[in-house]
Amino acid sequence: MRNESNIQVIDRMVALLQGLAQHGHAGLKVLAVDAGLHSSTAHRILASLQQHGWVARDADGGYRLGSGLLRYASHAAREIDLRQLALPVMTALRDLTGETVNLTLRESDEVVYVERVISNRLMRVEQVIGSRAPLHVTAVGKLMLGEGVPEGCMDYARRTGLPAYTANTITNARQLCDVVRLVAGQGYAFDDEEAELGVGCIGVLVRDAGGNAVAGLSISAPRERRRDEWIEPLLASGREISMKLGYQGADASPSV
């Protein structure tokens, strides 16, 4: 019964937000009628939404969508834009290599797979969209650890304890940070069966107009099929997506 009540509150909240999205600005009575709620119920829910910044109230007492909700919307829009910009490049890279191409974002101490273009081969690596992996076991994760302050890698190692996923996982903090410095200088990184036995990856970073690393682009394949000659087209694909996001910095990565 309590669960049903909680769901009912969410349904009422959504109805009020939908009314605000439709009207742009509205008073309590209008919103309550649109949502099919008593004014006192609508007022309580709107007051709670206002506390979280999802709804704002004007000087005349009317309501509008708040900046807190708009921030969530802007984050979602950026991710959608990134995926739309990246997909044609990812598809071309998949067609060139014949292997699965992934787009990942960093969330705290993990990478999250947000888009993929799957290999057409019968034996292939297939990451599930929405799945996560620790930074230290992935190619792009190592590159992401190289961004920011120099002590960031060691802080990550202390914070996570560097759990092992396979016998190849780097579990020594100093060794990991040495690898992170190396890959940061060369602009690409490998996963040599560190997250899963039999799987090898190559990764690069994607940057926005400000030069910030906003995503990772990687090729995943059975380890015996991974090829070093994919590095150059992968770097070029990362640059192409970065340029679509407004990045104009010079490529500092050496030729391979």
Per residue in 242-252, pLDDT (tens digit) is 998 888 875 53
How far apart CA 141 and CA 239 sit, in angstroms, is 18
Q: What whole-number distance in Å separates Cα of residue 176 and Cα of residue 61? A: 56
Nearest to 220 by CA among 244, 194, 241, 245: 194
* Residue 128: DSSP 8-state: P
Supply the pLDDT for residue 149: 82
* Residue 43 pLDDT greater than 90, yes or no: yes
pLDDT at 157: 96
Model confidence at 78, pLDDT cuts 50, 70, 90, reads: low
Residue burial 161-190, b: 16+ Cβ < 10 Å; e: rest? ebeebeeebbbebeebbebbeebbeebbbb
SS3 of residue 191 by DSSP: strand
pLDDT score of 133 more than 70 = yes
Name the least confident of 53-62, 191-200, 224-233: 53-62
Cβ atoms within 10 Å of 76's Cβ, excluding its own? 10
pTM: 0.70
Predicted local confidence at residue 8, as pLDDT: 85
Predicted local distance difference test score (pLDDT) of residue 255: 42
The DSSP letter of residue 246 is T
* Higher-pLDDT residue of 66, 114: 114
Rounded Cα gap, residues 53 and 143, in angstroms:
35
